[in-house]
Structure formats: structure tokens, C-alpha cells
Amino acid sequence: MKIIAIDYQVLTKSELEEEDALLVEAAIEAMSKAYAPYSNFTVGSAVLLANGEVVIGNNQENAAYPSGLCAERVALFSAKSKSPEPIKAIAIVANNAKGESADAFACGNCRQVMLEYASQDVQNTLIKVIMRNHQGQFYVLDDVKSLMPFNFNSTTLGS
């Protein structure tokens, strides 16, 4: 049996690198504008592009639940629609219905989109992932591939 280990750090906000802390602040600002009238679970995300540009997103709910979209994909799709620049990092934060920090661990769909964008980068730049937990700490992973070691990608399709 093989064991898969995930390398990550758990840091307080003050321990984050300055660039990461600024990205988290952008995600918190984005979260304040989330549209979540049904769950009251607000999520904000901020994507840092290689050129230094930050693109934000937040969750957008809909009464027809499958029609909504996660904050991560809103930010990622917006970033890629604006610029061909590689993605350097993504920060994700969430609050529960009481307005308290909640675990902001990207769902499988969002992880798959992050992996897709990571595989598009010909320079093979790693996408750092920063996710806030319910205690206000941050899980920092240097590479999105750590979130899904067995993933579906273009090689799966035979390309």
C-alpha cells in the first residue's frame, strides 16, 4: 500500500507572506459582496495572476440550485476571460450563516478547474492555494495538484 501525503502549512494571518495576506484581504472583500440568500454561506475568492493582477469572485446562488456558481470558479473564469497570464495563487475564505469563519475548502469542481488552468501553463507554474478554516487559520499549499493527486486531465483524454 502506498500512502499519499499532502504538504501544506497551517498559518495565522500574521504569518502569511505579504503577497498572500493581500490576496486574502481581496478574497474577504469579495466575500462581502457574495449573493447567498438561501444558504447564507458566503464565499470569497481572489486569484493572483503572474503579472500581479488580482481578480476576485464570490459565490452566486440561485433558487434553482444547480444554476449557482462557486466563488473560486467565478474568480478563475473571470481571470482567464480577462488575461492569458498564468495563475500564480488563489485565496478562498468563507463565513457561515452566523457570519463566523467557516471552512473554505474548495469543492471538487473548483479543484478540477484549478488543475485545468495549472496544466495549461507551458511554464508549469505551480498554483498556490490558500484556504481559511473555521478557526481563522490558513491552509497553504504550494501546488494545487496536492488537492487532487489522481486527477482528470488532458492526458486522460489521450491528447
Identify the H or E element spanning 110.
Answer: helix 108-120
Active-site position among 72, 85, 100, 116: 72
Residue 46 near residue 56 (C-beta atoms within 8 A): yes
pTM: 0.94
Please give the grid coordinates belonging to residue 99. Answer: 457570519
Residue 87, Ramachandran bin (φ over 0: left; ψ between -120 and 50: alpha; else beta): beta
For residue 72, indicate whether it is catalytic.
Answer: yes
Q: Where are the domains of the chain?
A: 9-147
Asked if 120 contacts 107 with a C-beta cutoff of 8 angstroms, the reply is no
Cell 500512502, located at residue? 3
Superfamily of domain 9-147: Cytidine Deaminase, domain 2 (3.40.140.10)
Angstrom distance (rounded) from CA 129 to CA 47: 10
Rounded distance, CA 150 to CA 40, Å? 32
Angle of helix 108-120 versus helix 71-82 axis, rounded to 10: 20
Question: Where do we find the cell 459565490?
Answer: 59
Distance, CA of 74 to CA of 97 (rounded, Å): 21
User: What are the per-10-residue average pLDDT scores of the chain (159 residues)?
Assistant: 91 97 98 97 97 97 93 97 94 97 96 89 80 98 91 75
